[in-house]
A and B are shown apart, each in its own frame.
Chain A
Amino acid sequence: MRALQEKAKELLESGKVGVIIGYGNGSGERVRPVFVRNSADVAKLVSDNRCRLNLSTYLFKPELKKIGRPAIVAAPATVKSIIQLISENQLKSSDVVTLVVEDDAVVELGDNASLEAYSASHPVVFPPFARKEIETIAGMSLQERFKYWQDELSRCFKCYACRAACPLCYCERCITDNNRPQWVCVPSHAQGNFEWHMNRAMHLAGRCIECGSCTIACPVGIPIGLLTIEASRIVEQEFGFRPGLRCDAPSALSSFKVDDKESFIV
């Protein structure tokens, strides 16, 4: 933690960055996103296993962009999301200073190569409950699975916290915001909830880097990350593609290769 605070101080004082996006102590035992602009405030930064929300979603917030070039305190999943965003032309590695904390040492990942090297050597460790849930659901029949999601999604009230917390949901005008046509029903009845979550899973297939922020953000405790993770795993199985590894990777579902298999249509 000390090393992080020292590094933050150095970056701010040298003018290399205008703001550090990191974690600080919040209400009770929680941590919260903090935005440190003065070296006097670096003591606010913390780094421990409570720091799980993926902060790269803040890289697109207009009010923060105005402050200046950011540095971001990154967990392995955050690094992967930054790589994925670079591959989708939403960011350049020079737009943000990525800081990773390991055993109280801080490493600055300043270019595509170092980001990729870090990502390759740090597989995402998704919380144990999720792996167990995925296995359990995989063992269910289709009807059982549908019932499981009907139950879980009945609590959804379309607050879109999952979308807000996800760094890969960066569309300025989300599909749900369109009403010509109304692709996704607005109300949070069963159909509206299914439409939203299925849409989101499809839009994240091959892009979800498994940070779990959507699940952390969901106020009613729906393990919503399971859908997007599973969609990405299917893409990996079928197309051999994993997101968050290469800054120049093509998009899995919207790139065409001559040798793409067509066994499902031919």
Chain B
Amino acid sequence: MRIEKVTEEAPGVKTFRLDFTDDSDRERFAFGAGQFGEYSVFGEGESTFCIASSPTRKDYIECTFREAGRVTSALARMEAGEVIGFRGPYGNIFPLEEWKGKNLLFIAGGIALPPMRCVIWNALDMRDWFKDITILYGARTVDDLVYKHELDEWGKRTDMKLVTTVDPGGETADWKGKIGFVPTVLEQMSPTSSNTVAIVCGPPVMIKFTFPVLEKFGFDSEMIYTTLENRMKCGVGKCGRCNVGSVYVCKDGPVFTYRQLQSLPPEY
């Protein structure tokens, strides 16, 4: 696929907008929110990122990644116009059909907003399927917030509510959002669990403290969704890396309910 556009989201974090180099590929391609792909640089290898754009936007896909290892460093050196490889889509999807008529509560932290962005935009693009939509997003510092333009856009919309927060000490002088860790701010929001689906994604420590808050407010573990990160290579459940219990995160996930997670050994 060709890199159409490169956006610097935060220090070390970039978004690529990609388009197929082959028209017939573009026509045949379809995916659901939650799925991921294997993005490759020949000679370096492949790296796993979710598709961060919504399936309702047809002419491109987007991915967001942090420069951390061999392949992501090679990708970070690339510019618009260059070609990278793509394999996918793999994995399961967020079951939006099942969420029709419900309220949606999205909770994300830091670099974990990208795996949720696909489903957020998907929901916003099919707005009348759902009742109230709320997004709670936090990062360590103001600089670390990704998709800053979209946060502005979401903040201005009247058909949804956006709450942003940074960790104590991460605020700037002109920061207008909340200050506090995501689980703390969530608690302050007193979320209603009735007829609501919660979708959570974040670093392990944030998830660890968020689930109990949701349970405290009456969320059933079947109504809490998350998307898991694990070391993946083949993406099709063969190489064994992402195997957790009898499940393969690449095949049976990455989208899981909290109820499903509870029955898995804690090896992710």
Contact = CB atoms under 8 A, between A and B. Distances in A.
Nearest to B45: A179
Contacts, number: 6
A180 B70 CA distance: 6
A178 to B, nearest CB: 10
Contacts of A180: 69-70, 73
Interface in A168-216: 179-180
B252 to A, nearest CB: 27
Interface in B65-87: 69-70, 73
Interface residues of B, number: 4
Interface string A221-246: 00000000000000000000000000
Contacts of B69: 179-180
Among B45, B69, B70, max chain A CB count under 10 A is at B70
Contacts of A179: 45, 69-70
A180 B74 CA distance: 11
Contacts of B70: 179-180
A179 B69 CA distance: 9
A179 B70 CA distance: 7
A123 B182 CA distance: 65
Contacts of B45: 179
A133 B69 CA distance: 44
A50 B70 CA distance: 45
A247 B45 CA distance: 44
Interface in B15-49: 45
Nearest to B74: A180
A180 B44 CA distance: 10
B207 to A, nearest CB: 27
A184 B129 CA distance: 54
Contacts of B73: 180
Nearest to A178: B70
A180 B77 CA distance: 15
Interface in A88-129: none
B10 to A, nearest CB: 22
A185 to B, nearest CB: 13
A219 to B, nearest CB: 20
Interface in A132-179: 179
A180 B69 CA distance: 8
Interface in A26-48: none
Nearest to A180: B70
A104 B250 CA distance: 58
A223 to B, nearest CB: 32
A135 B147 CA distance: 68
Interface string B48-70: 00000000000000000000011
B258 to A, nearest CB: 32
A151 B69 CA distance: 36
Interface of A: 179-180
6 contacts: A179-B45, A179-B69, A179-B70, A180-B69, A180-B70, A180-B73
Top 6 nearest A-B pairs (CB, nearest first) are A179-B70, A180-B70, A180-B73, A180-B69, A179-B69, A179-B45
Interface of B: 45, 69-70, 73
